[in-house]
Copies of this chain bind each other. A is one copy, B any other.
Amino acid sequence: MPVELRPSQALKLWHDVTLDLVRDGETDLTARQMTILLTVYLEPPPHTVRGLATKLGVTKPAITRALDTMGERGLVDRRRDERDRRNVLIQRTVAGALWVEKLGDDIVLRAKHLPR
């Protein structure tokens, strides 16, 4: 029972949710930041800079910069890996979890009101 969605519905859903993000004004995450945030909160840890860079197909400095920005906003946190102190483990935060949860609820709500 996969999720059934017609192209017109899919596009309207994408439009509606993105509009909500724009009108919110608070966050304005880039596509990269959004992907990193959702990866950290959806996939099982540990998450490293290198792993994220490989997954997204971008350079490591790009990941570091994105983590800097999101870290200042309290959406993610960083900690040294004590087993291998070269690594940095990206950690979840309460604020980040709440933000992601809110996004999920918004998408569900927008999907519910799509024309059939």
Interface presence of A68 (CB below 8 A): no
> In the complex, which residue of chain B has the Cβ closest to the Cβ of A102?
B7
Chain A, range 12-64, C-beta contacts under 8 Å to B: 12-15, 17-19, 21-23, 25, 28-32, 34-35, 38-39, 41-42, 55-58
A108 vs chain B, min Cβ distance (A): 5
In contact, A10 and B104 (Cβ under 8 angstroms) = yes
CA distance A51 to B74 in the complex (A): 34
Interface presence of A4 (CB below 8 A): yes
Instruction: Given contacts A2-B114, A5-B108, A7-B108, list 7 more A-B pairs with CB under 8 A.
Output: A3-B111, A3-B112, A4-B111, A11-B42, A11-B103, A28-B31, A30-B30
Interface residues of chain A, those whose CB is within 8 Å of chain B, are 1-15, 17-19, 21-23, 25, 28-32, 34-35, 38-39, 41-42, 55-58, 100-101, 103-105, 107-108, 111-114, 116
